[in-house]
Amino acid sequence: MFFMALQLFASSYLTIDIGFRYIKIIQVKKKKNGDLYVSNYGIGDTPKDCIKNGAIKDKDKVVAEIKKVLSEKKLDSKEAKIVVSGTNIITRIIMMDMMSDGEIDAKMKNEISTYLPINMDEYVVDYKILGVVTEEGTQKKKVFITAVNKKIINSYIEILKDLHLKPISVDIPANSVAKFFQKDIVIKELESSVIKRTPKVVSNTAAVLDFGSETTIINIMKDKIPEFNRVLLVGSSNIDQAIRNELNLLPSEMDKAERYKKMYGLAKYKDQNNELEWQCSEAAKSVIDDILKNVKMNFDFYVNRCAGEPVSKIYIVGGGSQLKGLKGYIEDIFGVPVYQISNVEINGIEFQAGLDRDKVSFLINAIGVAL
């Protein structure tokens, strides 16, 4: 029996996603059938001002916080995968004439530098063959090239070293999100107001919006293959700032502003007896409107300049996606169904019984990098 159990589970490992606001850590095992089993997770507070331009600046504080989460949640694996911050990553999607994957490997070895405006010595460059697409009647292979500065990667590896964790891999959010959404997503909720009306847009093109603290990341996927990725340098913490301004709070009252944001979200109507709710909600709306205007511009760019199809559904992930009223607000603006990832079932990803599923929206990158 013992032997069977060993066969069923490979060894477990950790994945770590250090966001500007929260550090997300999960402990997982790959099952023999390829399914992922999440045995536990923990979410810590990212110490303030520790990440600059994508690199970890104050390593010791970050390491101390991770240690705290590991011990509190009894996460004891000795190996780890880590996701680097979404800012300052260079990505390119290129189309290549049809040839074997081996031929692409050979070509990339020699030519990859011609696609990137960087000093190759300073970067870790990688590529992935996404699949075959048809462009103006001819088949092409789509290749996704990424480059991350070595200093950034090293700052993350140093963290793992200090934690005595053996690094398995370092990945970027675009890859982890894409891997997550390659899984079968089963939508349970049928009450979406937009689905009740006939969806305006029918296509296999979906967008994932990661509402982080300092960033909002737009991913567009067609038939589950990543097609488009942009990082906006506006996030949920800008709402805290807007609420602070609106209410004339002191800089030291940023926590209060964040609490109001979580409490009130986006209100649909003004409640005459709750002026505070309306003030906070209006502040939040101004930031969300700004983000969504930008998202819409990028969707339009994708359709008009990248020969993409219109986005027919939107998944919202990241802590900022928890904002009350956000789902309905986006549905009203874009006219397509919007799904919060905590309300869907994901085939091939199992959670230990009793784990709080509400927090899954925070864990997409951590789960994705595990896959």
Ligand X SMILES: Nc1ncnc2c1ncn2[C@@H]1O[C@H](COP(=O)(O)OP(=O)(O)OP(=O)(O)O)[C@@H](O)[C@H]1O
Residues in contact with ligand X by the rule CB under 6 A: 19-22, 85, 212-215, 235-237, 258, 261-262, 318-320, 322-323, 362
Among ligand X, Mg ion, none, residue 41 binds (CB under 5-8 Å by kind): none
Among ligand X, Mg ion, none, residue 237 binds (CB under 5-8 Å by kind): ligand X
Number of neighbouring beta carbons within 10 Å of residue 340: 17
Residue 141 or 339: which CB sits closer to ligand X?
339
280-306 in b/e form (b: 16+ CB < 10 A) is: bbebbbebbeebbebbeebbeebbeee
Residue 23 or 28: which CB sits closer to ligand X?
23
Q: Tell me if 18 sits within 8 A of 85, measured CB to CB.
A: yes
Q: Tell me if 35 sits within 8 A of 348, measured CB to CB.
A: yes
Among Mg ion, ligand X, none, residue 319 binds (CB under 5-8 Å by kind): ligand X
Among ligand X, Mg ion, none, residue 322 binds (CB under 5-8 Å by kind): ligand X
Q: Tell me if 162 sits within 8 A of 128, measured CB to CB.
A: no
Among Mg ion, ligand X, none, residue 22 binds (CB under 5-8 Å by kind): ligand X
Among ligand X, Mg ion, none, residue 331 binds (CB under 5-8 Å by kind): none
Among Mg ion, ligand X, none, residue 236 binds (CB under 5-8 Å by kind): ligand X
Shortest distance (Å) from residue 263 CB to ligand X? 8
Shortest distance (Å) from residue 83 CB to Mg ion? 8
Residue 54 or 212: which CB sits closer to Mg ion?
212
Residue 77 or 365: which CB sits closer to Mg ion?
365
Among ligand X, Mg ion, none, residue 320 binds (CB under 5-8 Å by kind): ligand X
Residue 112 or 317: which CB sits closer to ligand X?
317
Residue 205 or 298: which CB sits closer to ligand X?
298
Shortest distance (Å) from residue 40 CB to ligand X? 18
Shortest distance (Å) from residue 212 CB to Mg ion? 4
Q: Tell me if 327 sits within 8 A of 340, measured CB to CB.
A: yes
| Cα–Cα distance for residue pair 113/109, rounded to 1 Å | 9
Q: How far is CA 362 from CA 10, 21, 29, 210, 327, in A?
A: 25, 11, 19, 9, 16
Using CA of residue 339, residue 275, residue 294, residue 57, what is the dihedral sign? Answer: negative
Shortest distance (Å) from residue 86 CB to ligand X? 6
Shortest distance (Å) from residue 262 CB to ligand X? 4
Q: Tell me if 266 sits within 8 A of 281, measured CB to CB.
A: yes
Strands (DSSP E) found in the chain: 13-18, 22-30, 36-45, 51-52, 55-56, 79-83, 89-97, 123-135, 138-149, 166-171, 185-187, 205-211, 216-222, 225-232, 313-317, 338-340, 344-346, 349-351
Among Mg ion, ligand X, none, residue 192 binds (CB under 5-8 Å by kind): none
What φ, ψ does residue 203 adopt, rounded to 5°? -165, 170
Residue 334 or 362: which CB sits closer to Mg ion?
362
Shortest distance (Å) from residue 72 CB to ligand X? 17
Looking at residue 20, its amino acid is F
Q: How far is the first Cα of the chain from the last one, in angstroms, to the nearest whole number?
A: 27
| Cα–Cα distance for residue pair 50/60, rounded to 1 Å | 10
Shortest distance (Å) from residue 117 CB to Mg ion? 26
Residue 86 or 308: which CB sits closer to ligand X?
86
Shortest distance (Å) from residue 22 CB to ligand X? 4
Residue 36 or 177: which CB sits closer to ligand X?
177
| Cα–Cα distance for residue pair 146/118, rounded to 1 Å | 11
**Chain residues that interact with Mg ion, rule: CB under 5 A:** 19, 212
